[in-house]
Chain A
């Protein structure tokens, strides 16, 4: 089975310290006011002295979905699901920052990087992984709430955690089911905040125009074939070029 790089997150361990958010910004040089990852606070924000409220925190980022609606919104394949690792990748050289993929993510995991002017999101820190290190957010987490690895590999830490908790894993639900690869052990608070994958009207127009454009080209091609056919079958019976 091919790999599926994913995160298995023990939400019960998260203490909302935001170290993962800071580490990610530093490791990936993310511009001011932009973030590749987050910790969602829950509805019950604990207050001192009140024992009814129980703190729940939900760390998150791009979920490298099995049904990536962002990929469907990209006209050039600059963002694609890597069949070998299961990652949803952005090819920075090919992306021109048209922005189509950004509203197509129901988790708002994508943004247009203000410095690079291209789509940006969590990429599991490929430079760090190449050096044998885990992604920055995982490495820095003081409680080890974030576990990263190939969930299809039963030997990996993520795979073991995934298998052990299979029956009680939670995923964030969205109005568009993208089959996210981010799994929560323990109660992550509200798991239903995901929105709808919105494909911009311009991309819808392009998709709908495509068969029409092909039809016009095909019609024109048939016309040329008909003219060629006539040229060879009937010969050239126009004598108009000669006077008299």
Chain B
């Protein structure tokens, strides 16, 4: 059997798919809660359809709030179970080495859309700079989704409490929370489109996709996609994973 490298813990795999399912449900219900011609993301009958599906806007709001609270509880549970893993993950995704990573990002974007020819024509080496546990694309998305997730959770709780405990003097906080919640979701969603393509559709990343179920990637894949991580594993033995 080919040599494998452990990449994700069971709790990492669980929280990732739990988060993904919550996100899909929260997006479907949340978009249905916006009904103002100036904002409605689709400008269609989607909010109306969604509301009649669940028997009214009030029900849709309650469902959205319920899933949101479960989502937050899931992350708190994950932090309790695997705090070390969360710390490793955050340290990895927020450590950027500018020259190497920006070069990787620019070249990768050209390679993925136009191929190696434009880079060669510009006299650049199409070879990508070596990357660590995560490449810069993964780090960028992880940064957006962590920062966005915190904003979404905090503003969500503020909105949830608005008609439960807050007085009239707190409506400024609630109203700004609505705006920030919307903007943060929009930005994470933009990243999510690329994330899903890269992780689940792009053939090159197939071993990475499988690792989100099995927890491990083959040696070859680690060597060519996450060279710095692979080297470390070779010289220091298996690293703690995210």
Contacts and interface: CB of A to CB of B under 8 A. Distances in A.
Interface of A: 72, 74-78, 91-100, 102, 111-112, 114, 116-118, 200, 202-203, 205-207, 209-210, 213-214, 216-217, 219-221, 223-224, 226-228, 230-231, 234, 236-238, 240-243
A220 B194 contact: yes
Nearest to A217: B190
A176 B113 CA distance: 51
Contacts of A205: 176, 179
A112 B168 CA distance: 6
Interface string B80-115: 000000000000000000000000000001001111
The 10 closest A-B pairs by CB, nearest first: A93-B58, A99-B171, A77-B35, A213-B186, A206-B179, A94-B57, A220-B190, A202-B175, A226-B113, A117-B163
Given A114-B168, A214-B41, A230-B112, A238 B178 contact: no
A160 to B, nearest CB: 36
A96 B223 CA distance: 52
Contacts of B220: 241-243
Contacts of B223: 243
Contact of A98 (B39, B164, B178, B201): B178
Contacts of A99: 168, 171-172, 174-175
Nearest to B184: A213
B182 A117 contact: no
A212 B109 CA distance: 22
Interface of B: 33-36, 38-39, 41, 47, 56-62, 109, 112-116, 159, 162-168, 171-172, 174-176, 178-179, 182-183, 186-187, 189-191, 193-194, 197, 201-204, 207, 220-221, 223-225
Given A205-B176, A220-B191, 4 more contacts: A96-B159, A203-B175, A214-B41, A224-B193
B56 A93 contact: yes
B136 to A, nearest CB: 15
Contact of A116 (B33, B115, B163): B163
Nearest to B189: A217
A234 B115 contact: yes
B182 A228 contact: no
Contacts of A98: 159, 162, 171, 174-175, 178
B39 A206 contact: yes
